[in-house]
């Protein structure tokens, strides 16, 4: 029972390079999301998806693209990396449901991907 799997764990890029952070979950969760974590800033939502074929922007979407072709996978693409994108990235998923129902909408996080852009 893997939960949420992120790859790679570490990555160093040069400014202008592109890369994809992979995220896969095996819990049949409808909802998947990407957060970035920076010191003193908490966790900020980049993009999210409520199901295959459906994606939407979060709080800090600029510079990132996502797609959701399957329920299991939700890759995050950096098209032209910038030093401001140096951060720790977390993928998280949850089942959907009414917010008032205890247990619904609880996020399961991946182990994180630490990205450095030089």
Which of residues 64 and 110 has its CB atom nearest to other proteins in the complex?
A: 110
Stretch that binds other proteins, among 20-28, 66-74, 79-87, 110-118 (CB under 8 A): 110-118
The verdict on 19 binding other proteins (CB under 8 A) reads no
Question: Which residue matches tokens 């205890």?
Answer: 102
106 binds other proteins (CB under 8 A): yes
Could you tell me if residue 6 is left (phi over 0), alpha (psi between -120 and 50 degrees) or otherwise beta?
beta
From residue 86, give the alpha-carbon distance in Å to each of 11, 81, 97, 102.
10, 9, 34, 35
In whole angstroms, give the CA distance from residue 27 to residue 91: 14
Residue 57-96 contact track with other proteins, rule CB under 8 A, x = bound? -xx------------------------------x-xxx-x
Structure tokens at 8: 């790679």
Which of 19, 27, 45, 52 contacts other proteins by CB under 8 A?
Answer: 45
Counting contacts by CB under 8 A, is residue 10 touching other proteins?
Answer: no
Task: Using alpha carbons, select from 17, 23, 6, 4 the residue that is nearest to residue 66.
Answer: 23
Interface residues with other proteins (CB under 8 A) are 30-31, 33, 35, 40-45, 48, 50, 58-59, 90, 92-94, 96-112
């Amino acid at each position: 029972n893997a939960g949420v799997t992120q790859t790679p764990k570490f990555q160093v890029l040069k400014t202008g390079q592109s890369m994809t952070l992979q995220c896969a979950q095996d819990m049949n969760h409808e909802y998947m999301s990407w957060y970035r974590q920076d010191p003193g800033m908490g966790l900020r939502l980049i993009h999210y998806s409520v199901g295959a074929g459906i994606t939407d922007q979060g709080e800090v979407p600029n510079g990132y693209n996502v797609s959701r072709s399957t329920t299991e996978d939700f890759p995050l693409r950096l098209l032209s990396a910038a030093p401001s994108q140096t951060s720790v990235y977390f993928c998280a998923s949850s089942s959907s449901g009414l917010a008032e129902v205890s247990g619904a909408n609880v996020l399961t996080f991946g182990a994180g991907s630490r990205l450095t852009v030089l």
